[in-house]
Chains A and B, each alone.
Chain A
């Protein structure tokens, strides 16, 4: 009886198990990693808004890759947007050819994910698959601001996340630029004189031809065109007047002709929208070694607005509403005044390195006390060790009669001191200069003028190119006449007879562009850890044909011309 019972129990239990497992429904395995729709899936799933663009994508044959892995940004026009577009081009959805459909899709598609907070005033960082940049901005219409794409459509719903990228819904179909820069200029009567100058110098064709079908290899241009009014304001009311003013060789096609250079100075070999122009302080042009300086003054974009040797040169404004015009070959801006490369003659720069904006802001320090600036606190000076400081020093003592009694202590060395320190110079006009370093010789240990003690040879460089001579803050100048000193590469830059006040010749440089440049000091391998007392006072850039040792710079700030 007991035995049967146990058998029966196990049989029932076994049956139960079989029933349970047997009655299980077929398990539905999830085979995809996500249920998020991809770009194509998303627009297909919302036919109430996107049926037309879905048809266009289908026709283009791009549905496959828009539904596959990747990272894209697509500007998706709504049905009403497509309807407006079709009326404009006088076509029907079914009549669009495959090529036309492809162009539409390609112009709305970028191979990157760009949420709206990455948009700036100007071109998007990535080019469309069509091969033209899209421009973004914000417009305010009756108190409502929205993002305007390519000056054509506004984003009505942004940043829709899909599996393979972002969708921005727009209320117009975007249309690529169809005209070249040259065509834009000739279509605008305001530019008629500038256009003639372009044609005469041969640059009209340069700006008119798309020089490569591959957008990655294409050379783009940015033209700052001057209006007739701008030229008239400078006294040139016709092309003849412009030609008379600049054409010095008789042949405007000659690359050395001034009219040719004038035109080249208005062309930047890159696509630079206004936002790009204000993001950098200078831009190279087609004119050899001539740069355009740019800056943002409140809301105005100004070209060549400069302070030169204490004189302010008024800049030329680029008119915002008629600038940033996209073209097949680049972008066109409108300049509201006449500008041309300035002929400047090299002028000496007596650069007091201990006078910079950050120290001037501290009236209790500037020419009154010592102060150490932390790394990053001084815009135009940088150095290798972020834990080191820039030491501004002031001394009223007679043994350090530096210019205005102040100097920078820049201890150079290989272990904890500055391995290198780099300064941005004031603007130097292009030309050929002799470079002098002016310092008060000192030694951390030992005596100046005697062997032994601290030593640290320093290699100066200008724009990354080493100057021909090295120097050592521990060395003082010999006691000789000015002529003898200059012949040996020294000078007496201070009126004092103190021999420590040393100017040393570093080499001759060719300054190629009228701009601010980089001046760097680098410590060279030497015995010991370097010199803690490197008292840098001034750096002189003096045109080679000018007097090299005058004026002298006195500790009370006066200049001595004998």
Chain B
């Protein structure tokens, strides 16, 4: 009897935890916030927007730094880099047009991470309106405008690099949001890009009140510059001119004076956020870029190609006082072909490893001017294009050896001249490959020869013929989808050239 009582008691005691455990199981992480706890105040919205910018200069998950990605995608396939003994096999494979889907340079993960941060702001910031009375509709619009502009820029990079990519414009905030998306066509993605940019333009800020924000965050002028770039890529010329004019007519940008090469270099590249700049990734001493290891250590991966000094800028052998200020001591250090743009504190002194925080310039005024003139030339205003090119060249004290005098009616020659000037002006700024590709594919690949001539000079002699034949296939101008993405997303189909 007594035993029975004890057993019953025991049974009751054992049941207790089960009954009372509800609260215990309601676990919240102790070292962070969940989505449900977040998105309640305007400060949190602001922090999320800042997070987008932070993801551009350094990944929280260990993906490759996005600025490095922009550099690799924009320069590695073009003609201004040369490899060293420390260049990785994957990098060399890209240079040699031997890209396999296993090549991690084709990994787009860091870009999609940034896109997801943008999507999160776009999706969740509107909900804060109801929870925080001090959060205004205007503030919301501004935050969403920044997110949409960066999302557009990222997709613009992706389609120029991969042609077709999955278009994800909703946040992935929980497991149930993970969907297998198939690729969208370049036109579909670019239509979304333009839509985002137009929406962002309406609400974007013109002036944040301080220079670092004006150059480091999305402004209306930056959005116009991205629009111009997209329209130029799409060969929509009148829209491109209109977008460029919006930037030019703000009258708040100009070219940095080039009369003192060192002052010019320091203003534009060393200190950054100059009057010329529209949008820069704001690396600083707490957020270093990865360029020191790429360009300056004994294990440096890249040097400037010999053609940078020999053919692109050239040297005046008779008069050392005549030189292009963009050449020695700015783009490269000609004595050892070091890529100087991100490595110098002046024309001659080098940054230390802990000082490797040169900004990554996305857009600057010279870019807007040259984009506009590229279009003016296509529209038949060749003389105007030549005048502006001359303006850019005069600022840089470009050498007479690199000057050309095409007839104002000669569209092909002027386009080529502008392309060469862009190489000089934006050396190592991640633009070269996209510039050549854009010019080559204009009017249904009318100037494919630009790409073929380029590749004939960059690959080793014993791979030249293969590389030229590969480049005749326009699918080869885009990177393959990285193997990891293919195995995790079964809806993706590998790009045609890489099957």
Q: Which residues of A contact B (CB under 8 A)?
A: 115-117, 119-122, 136-140, 143-145, 147, 157, 159, 274-276, 278-279, 296, 298-299, 320, 360-364, 366, 368, 371, 373-374, 377
Residue of A nearest to B306 (CB): A361
Min CB distance B466 to A, Å, is 4
Q: A138-B466, A374-B336 are in contact. Are A279 and B461 (CB under 8 A)?
A: yes
Min CB distance A84 to B, Å, is 21
Residue of A nearest to B337 (CB): A377
Q: Are A363 and B316 in contact (CB under 8 A)?
A: yes
Complex formed: what's the CA distance from A371 to B328 in Å? Answer: 15
Q: Are B315 and A377 in contact (CB under 8 A)?
A: no
Residue of A nearest to B469 (CB): A138
Q: Are B461 and A117 in contact (CB under 8 A)?
A: no
Complex formed: what's the CA distance from A371 to B333 in Å? Answer: 13
Tell me which residues across on chain B come within 8 A of A138, comparing CB atoms. Answer: 465-467, 469-470
Q: Which residues of B contact A (CB under 8 A)?
A: 93, 96, 98-100, 309-310, 315-320, 334-337, 456-457, 460-476, 496-497, 499
5 sample A-B contacts, Cβ–Cβ < 8 Å, listed by A number: A121-B463, A144-B475, A145-B476, A275-B462, A361-B309
Q: Are B462 and A276 in contact (CB under 8 A)?
A: yes
Complex formed: what's the CA distance from A368 to B320 in Å? Answer: 10
Tell me which residues across on chain B come within 8 A of A320, comparing CB atoms. Answer: 465
Q: Are B499 and A157 in contact (CB under 8 A)?
A: yes
Complex formed: what's the CA distance from A221 to B419 in Å? Answer: 46
With a 10 A CB-CB cut-off, give which of A122, A136, A159, A362 has the most chain B CB atoms: A362
> Which of B319, B336, B473 contacts A144, CB < 8 Å?
B473
Residue of B nearest to A159 (CB): B100
Q: Are A137 and B310 in contact (CB under 8 A)?
A: no
Tell me which residues across on chain A come within 8 A of B315, comparing CB atoms. Answer: 361-363
Q: A116-B98, A138-B469, A143-B473 are in contact. Are A361 and B310 (CB under 8 A)?
A: yes
Complex formed: what's the CA distance from A373 to B336 in Å? Answer: 8
Q: A115-B100, A363-B316, A368-B320 are in contact. Are A137 and B464 (CB under 8 A)?
A: no
Complex formed: what's the CA distance from A368 to B309 in Å? Answer: 20
Q: A138-B466, A368-B320 are in contact. Are A117 and B335 (CB under 8 A)?
A: no
> Which of A116, A140, A145, A362 contacts B334, CB < 8 Å?
A362
Min CB distance A298 to B, Å, is 6
Q: Are B472 and A143 in contact (CB under 8 A)?
A: yes
Q: Are A145 and B470 in contact (CB under 8 A)?
A: yes
Q: Are B499 and A121 in contact (CB under 8 A)?
A: no
Q: A361-B310, A361-B315 are in contact. Are A377 and B335 (CB under 8 A)?
A: yes
Q: Are A278 and B466 in contact (CB under 8 A)?
A: no
Complex formed: what's the CA distance from A147 to B497 in Å? Answer: 11
Tell me which residues across on chain B come within 8 A of A363, comparing CB atoms. Answer: 315-320
Tell me which residues across on chain B come within 8 A of A137, comparing CB atoms. Answer: 465-466, 469
Complex formed: what's the CA distance from A40 to B117 in Å? Answer: 48
Q: A121-B463, A121-B464, A361-B309 are in contact. Are A139 and B320 (CB under 8 A)?
A: no
Q: Are B335 and A299 in contact (CB under 8 A)?
A: no
Complex formed: what's the CA distance from A116 to B96 in Å? Answer: 12
Min CB distance A117 to B, Å, is 4
Q: Are B462 and A143 in contact (CB under 8 A)?
A: no
> Which of A140, A299, A364 contacts B320, CB < 8 Å?
A364
Q: Are B100 and A299 in contact (CB under 8 A)?
A: no
Tell me which residues across on chain B come within 8 A of A119, comparing CB atoms. Answer: 98, 466
Tell me which residues across on chain B come within 8 A of A278, comparing CB atoms. Answer: 461-462, 464
Residue of B nearest to A161 (CB): B102
Tell me which residues across on chain A come within 8 A of B467, comparing CB atoms. Answer: 138
Complex formed: what's the CA distance from A418 to B297 in Å? Answer: 24
Min CB distance B87 to A, Å, is 14
Tell me which residues across on chain B come within 8 A of A115, comparing CB atoms. Answer: 100
A sample of 8 more A-B contacts (CB under 8 A), given A275-B463, A374-B335, is A117-B93, A143-B474, A144-B473, A145-B471, A275-B462, A299-B456, A361-B309, A362-B315
Min CB distance B194 to A, Å, is 28
Q: Are A360 and B317 in contact (CB under 8 A)?
A: yes
Q: Are A120 and B466 in contact (CB under 8 A)?
A: yes
Q: Are B461 and A296 in contact (CB under 8 A)?
A: yes
Complex formed: what's the CA distance from A345 to B309 in Å? Answer: 38
Complex formed: what's the CA distance from A544 to B336 in Å? Answer: 40
Complex formed: what's the CA distance from A320 to B465 in Å? Answer: 10
> Which of B100, B334, B461, B470 contacts A361, CB < 8 Å?
B334
Complex formed: what's the CA distance from A373 to B465 in Å? Answer: 35
Complex formed: what's the CA distance from A120 to B460 in Å? Answer: 9
Complex formed: what's the CA distance from A481 to B26 in Å? Answer: 106
Tell me which residues across on chain A come within 8 A of B499, comparing CB atoms. Answer: 157
Complex formed: what's the CA distance from A429 to B457 in Å? Answer: 31
Tell me which residues across on chain B come within 8 A of A120, comparing CB atoms. Answer: 462-463, 466
> Which of A116, A139, A140, A371 contacts B100, CB < 8 Å?
A116
**Leading 6 A-B pairs by shortest Cβ distance:** A145-B473, A364-B320, A275-B462, A117-B98, A138-B469, A140-B472
Q: Are A145 and B497 in contact (CB under 8 A)?
A: yes
Q: A360-B317, A368-B320 are in contact. Are A377 and B336 (CB under 8 A)?
A: yes
Complex formed: what's the CA distance from A120 to B428 in Å? Answer: 28
Tell me which residues across on chain B come within 8 A of A275, comparing CB atoms. Answer: 461-463, 465
Tell me which residues across on chain B come within 8 A of A143, comparing CB atoms. Answer: 472-474
Min CB distance A425 to B, Å, is 22
Min CB distance A517 to B, Å, is 23
Q: Are A117 and B466 in contact (CB under 8 A)?
A: no
Q: Are B98 and A299 in contact (CB under 8 A)?
A: no
Complex formed: what's the CA distance from A159 to B496 in Å? Answer: 15
Tell me which residues across on chain A come within 8 A of B460, comparing CB atoms. Answer: 279
Min CB distance B95 to A, Å, is 11
> Which of B99, B337, B456, B469 contacts A298, CB < 8 Å?
B456
Complex formed: what's the CA distance from A325 to B475 in Å? Answer: 30
> Which of A279, A298, A368, A377 contacts B462, CB < 8 Å?
A279
Q: Are A121 and B466 in contact (CB under 8 A)?
A: yes
Complex formed: what's the CA distance from A145 to B452 in Å? Answer: 13
With a 10 A CB-CB cut-off, give which of A116, A122, A364 has the most chain B CB atoms: A364
Complex formed: what's the CA distance from A139 to B460 in Å? Answer: 18
Q: Are A299 and B464 in contact (CB under 8 A)?
A: yes
Min CB distance B480 to A, Å, is 12
Tell me which residues across on chain B come within 8 A of A121, comparing CB atoms. Answer: 462-466
Tell me which residues across on chain A come within 8 A of B316, comparing CB atoms. Answer: 363
